[in-house]
């Protein structure tokens, strides 16, 4: 793979047809922050999308997966809907315990660190 990755990006292997915009926007929201949402679509996909999504994050994931031995979710697609300025990062869904994601972390200053 050549870096930097050009956007739009679509992986050579995708386990199923990429999710449509309608599928993404009607999927159950797992996490919602200002400017973006994280949703699961069908069996294979986790999609982070919104105007606050920086596609550089997906480029970093691709680079890290290619250059390290650490496990990362596969990035299947990176693109922007130019009519809405919404960015989409389509990744591999990995089943697991999300309890650590749901905790509210205090800033280190509050912990006296």
Residue 5: per-residue pLDDT: 78
Q: How confident is the model at residue 95 (pLDDT cuts 50, 70, 90)?
A: confident
Residue 16 pLDDT exceeds 60: yes
Answer whether residue 80 is part of any domain.
yes
Answer whether residue 1 is part of any domain.
no
Answer whether residue 52 is part of any domain.
yes
**Burial (CB count within 10 angstroms: exposed 0-12, middle 13-18, buried 19+), residue 19:** buried
Answer whether residue 103 is part of any domain.
yes
Count: domains in the chain: 1
What whole-number percentage of the chain has pLDDT above 90?
Answer: 76
Answer whether residue 22 is part of any domain.
yes
> Are the beta carbons of 33 and 52 closer than 8 angstroms?
yes
Average pLDDT over residues 75-82: 97
Phi and psi at residue 75, to the nearest 5°: -95, 120
Residue 101: per-residue pLDDT: 53
Answer whether residue 2 is part of any domain.
no
CATH number at residue 18: 3.30.200.20
Answer whether residue 3 is part of any domain.
no
Q: Which residue has the higher pLDDT, 110 or 53?
A: 53
pTM: 0.83
Residue 86 pLDDT exceeds 90: yes
**Structural domain containing residue 52:** 9-111
Residue 4: per-residue pLDDT: 72
Residue 40 pLDDT exceeds 70: yes
Average pLDDT over residues 17-44: 97
């Amino acid at each position: 793979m050549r870096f930097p990755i050009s956007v739009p990006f679509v992986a050579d292997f995708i386990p199923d047809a990429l999710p449509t915009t309608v599928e993404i926007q009607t999927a159950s929201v797992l996490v919602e922050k200002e400017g973006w949402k994280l949703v699961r679509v069908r069996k294979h996909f986790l999609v982070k999308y919104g105007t606050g999504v920086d596609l550089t994050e997906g480029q970093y994931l691709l680079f890290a997966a290619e250059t390290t031995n650490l496990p990362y979710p596969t990035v299947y697609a990176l693109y922007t809907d130019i009519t809405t300025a919404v960015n989409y990062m389509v990744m591999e869904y990995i089943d697991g315990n999300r309890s650590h994601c749901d905790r509210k972390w205090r800033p280190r200053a509050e912990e006296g660190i």
